[in-house]
Amino acid sequence: MISLRKAFNMVVELGVPLNSIECDVDDSLGLILEEDVYATENVPSFRTSAMDGYAIKSEDLRVGINKLKVVAKVFAGQTFAGILQSGQAIRIMTGATVPEGADAVCPQEFVEISESLKDQVYIPTLLCANENIRFPGEDIESGQLLLSKGQQIGPSQIGILKSMGNTKIKVIPKVKVGVISTGDELTESGVLKPGQIRDSNRPTILASLKRLGVTPVDYGIVRDDLNAIEEAFSNAARDCDLILTTGGVSVGEADYISTVLNKICNGNMQSVKVAIKPAKPLAFGVTAQTGCPLISLPGNPVACLVSFHLFAKALIKKMMGHRVENIRTIRAKAGDDFERFPDGKLHLDRGILNVSNEGCLKVTRQAKQGSHMLRLFAESNVLICIPDGDGVVKGSSVDVIPLELNIFEEY
Ligand code: AMP
Ligand code: MG
């Protein structure tokens, strides 16, 4: 058996980040930027009113000129062609250009208007110069470094780029991942014949890939037949950046995956036993003809998903340009005694991480831990790392591996 760390490193070594492409900013959400982006414009680009109110000269108010004649009205998107003179005010809306000659905007709440004032407003307060005016470059200054190479594009980054007028950027593209299930017992749908089960691994992996923001390609179910497996794997390898397969990696008589991998990878493959439970068997390699990395996950549904979270996700992230160094863990308090027997393996038990009433992270373990129990996996949000030995006692610290990206994001 090899350690989880060793297996992780070996899998991550299978691939490199994809070559960068130019992509529409609108399509770049979640991708990694492959260039530094500098501001080419000031934002805002003109003196902008921060309030609905009146553009005035602050000096007027200081010398007691409080009744001001309203000479024009400017809405957002408009400019006033003239120059504001002493004794004048201009009705202005948020986002409109502050007219030349004005050096403050008085919010409309502070302004008195009456019949007797006719076309004048009365401002009973003083204003500082520049009050309620947004200046060119206040948010973004032309020439400044806006976004750096290696940064992930989120919604705000898209907003920043668009506010600059950028429509294209250089990014690492989405990884195209082919997914194949293997097994004679598998069927897609319909009434089950004796001995048949429905394929749950492939749909779960395909959905997990979508959530990761990559491009999944569904290659269906392949029978436990050497030639069929070889053909399916080679076919997917011609079209994809990475292939994930499930089933057939243990040591049963119909477990052909290592034989096929050995052939299509020209010996450049590994079939390993990882010292973890579940997800011990794992095979991987790089195809000789197309250089496509391939990871064969175990067939048991929980083992398959644990393996996906530990290994496949890391390689995908690396190929998409992320820095991938180790499996990310969080420390939490054990909500119970987590008993186990020594067996030389790190147990990755399904659990639920919560914030306790005291504001600490607390983890509880699912009562059953079968590697076929998909329902209990679905009701879990972490894998609890219980080191080899007799277990972890209630209240002590334990590492957990989050299964979801934002496990506390609730509305
Ligand atoms: P294997 O790794 O092929 O020996 O399969 C181990 C266990 O997982 C067996 O009970 C299989 O029936 C089950 N299994 C394999 N592939 C799938 C799948 N795609 N969906 C659900 N269960 C599966
Ligand atoms: Mg099988």
**pTM for the whole structure:** 0.91
Instruction: Catalogue all structural domains in the chain, each as residue range(s) with its CATH number.
Output: 4-18+173-319 (3.40.980.10), 26-41+140-172 (3.90.105.10), 48-134 (2.170.190.11), 330-402 (2.40.340.10)
* DSSP designation for 208: H
* Contact (Cβ atoms closer than 8 angstroms) between residue 249 and residue 181: no
Q: Which ligand is nearest to the CA of 249?
A: 1
Using most ligand atoms within 8 A of CB, pick from 179, 186, 259, 295 the residue to mutate for ligand 1: 186
Residue length of the chain: 411
DSSP string, 142-204: TTSEEE-TTPBP-HHHHHHHHHTT--EEEEEPPPEEEEEEE-TTEESSSSPPTT-EE--HHHH
In this prediction, residue 254 carries a pLDDT of 78
In this prediction, residue 151 carries a pLDDT of 97
In this prediction, residue 251 carries a pLDDT of 83
- How many angstroms does the Cα of residue 276 sit away from the middle of ligand 1? 18
- How many angstroms does the Cα of residue 285 sit away from the middle of ligand 1? 21
Ligand 1, residue 200: give the atom nearest the CA: 20
**Nearest-CA residue for atom 7 of ligand 1:** 300
- How many angstroms does the Cα of residue 135 sit away from the middle of ligand 2? 66
Compute the Cα dihedral for 376, 380, 382, 387 and give only its sign.
Answer: negative
Q: Which residues line ligand 1 (CB under 6 A)?
A: 181, 183, 185-186, 197, 199-202, 246-250, 252, 255, 298-301
Using most ligand atoms within 8 A of CB, pick from 181, 193, 197, 223 the residue to mutate for ligand 1: 197
**Nearest-CA residue for atom 12 of ligand 1:** 185
In this prediction, residue 387 carries a pLDDT of 98
- How many angstroms does the Cα of residue 255 sit away from the middle of ligand 2? 6
**Nearest-CA residue for atom 5 of ligand 1:** 299
CA distance 172 to 21: 6
Ligand 1, residue 249: give the atom nearest the CA: 2
CA distance 17 to 21: 12
Ligand 1, residue 199: give the atom nearest the CA: 20
**Nearest-CA residue for atom 23 of ligand 1:** 299
In this prediction, residue 410 carries a pLDDT of 54
> Bridge-partner residues for 101, per DSSP?
none
Ranges in the chain, pLDDT < 50: none
Q: What is the H or E stretch that residue 120 is in? A: strand 120-122
DSSP string, 247-305: S--SSSTT--HHHHHHHHTTT-EEEEEBSEES--EEEEEE-TTT--EEEEE-SSHHHHH
- How many angstroms does the Cα of residue 315 sit away from the middle of ligand 1? 23
**Nearest-CA residue for atom 4 of ligand 1:** 248
Number of Cβ within 10 Å of residue 289's Cβ equals: 11
In this prediction, residue 166 carries a pLDDT of 94
Q: Which ligand is nearest to the CA of 179?
A: 1
Using most ligand atoms within 8 A of CB, pick from 193, 201, 257, 375 the residue to mutate for ligand 1: 201
Q: Which ligand is nearest to the CA of 183?
A: 2
